[in-house]
């Protein structure tokens, strides 16, 4: 599947095996959203189409990201707060974690950083808070740890929020 652009600046999906367009040249932007899906922008709203070009999540979001671990970050502009609010949808297009966060990261190793107020915490795919909102920045878990900053020093924590000390042992970090 290729993303193609016509002379008027509109995008479509093209199947190079069948030599046929899968969608009309109607989208203002398209990008791969993983697992054979594509994020498509029509006007000012984003949705998702599958690899056959079929609309699977209607264009209703102001911003979208690719799917990771079965969920995608989606956002809408909140006029009252004058900023985007973020949440998560599943591959059925269901909003499984409500749009309520100031920032939201993709899931990695079963957790995602989300910002509520001025601090970041970490949630699981059910939207449950696993690591409290106490960090100035969010990050992605890699190999069972993330780097956080405390007193201008880099530190690493595990998925339980425990500080990893240099000798490989763990201790609970209580700010």
pLDDT digits (tens, 9 = 90+) for 51-77: 999 999 999 999 999 999 999 999 998
Q: Provide the pLDDT confidence category of residue 150 given band limits of 50, 70 and 90.
A: low
Q: How far apart are the C-alpha atoms of 23 and 147, rounded to whole Å?
A: 42
Please name which of 169, 125, 119 lies closest in space to residue 148, comparing C-alpha atoms: 119
What average pLDDT is seen over the chain? Answer: 90
Measure Cα distances from 8 to 5, 21, 25, 28, 133 in Å: 8, 16, 9, 10, 46
- Return the bridge partners of 110, or none: none
Cα atoms in the Cβ-side hemisphere of radius 13 Å centred on 168: 0
- pLDDT value at residue 172: 44
- pLDDT value at residue 132: 93
- Return the bridge partners of 32, or none: 38
Measure Cα distances from 105 to 26, 112, 157 in Å: 29, 6, 17
Q: List, for residues 12-26, the tens digit of each pLDDT value.
A: 999 999 999 999 999
Strand intervals (E) in the chain: 2-5, 11-15, 20-21, 29-32, 38-42, 45-49, 55-61, 63-68, 71-78, 83-90, 95-101, 103-104, 112-116, 119-123, 129-135, 146-150, 153-157, 162-164, 170-172
Beta strand pairing call for 170-172 and 162-164:
antiparallel
Cα 158–Cα 148–Cα 166 angle in degrees, nearest 5:
60
The answer to whether residues 90 and 96 touch, using CB atoms and an 8 Å cutoff, is: yes
Residue 174 pLDDT greater than 50, yes or no:
no
The whole model's pTM is what? 0.85
Q: List, for residues 125-148, the tens digit of each pLDDT value.
A: 999 999 999 888 888 898 899 888
Output the furthest CA–CA distance in the chain (Å, rounded).
60
- pLDDT value at residue 87: 98
- pLDDT value at residue 94: 94
């Amino acid at each position: 599947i290729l993303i193609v652009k016509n002379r008027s600046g509109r995008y479509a999906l093209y199947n190079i095996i069948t030599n046929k367009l899968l969608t009309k040249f109607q989208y203002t932007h398209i990008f791969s959203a993983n697992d054979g899906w594509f994020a498509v922008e029509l006007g000012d709203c984003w949705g998702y189409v599958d690899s056959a070009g079929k609309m699977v999540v209607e264009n209703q979001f102001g911003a979208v990201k690719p799917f990771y671990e079965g969920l995608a970050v989606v956002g809408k502009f909140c006029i009252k707060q004058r900023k985007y609010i973020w949440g998560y949808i599943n591959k059925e297009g269901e909003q499984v974690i409500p749009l309520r966060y100031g920032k939201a990261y993709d899931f990695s190793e079963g957790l995602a950083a989300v910002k509520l107020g001025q601090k970041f915490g970490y949630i699981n795919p059910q939207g449950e808070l696993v690591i409290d909102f106490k960090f100035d920045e969010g990050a992605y878990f890699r190999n069972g740890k993330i780097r956080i900053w405390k007193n201008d020093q880099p530190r690493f924590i595990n998925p339980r929020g425990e500080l990893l000390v240099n000798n490989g042992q763990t201790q609970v970090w209580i700010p």
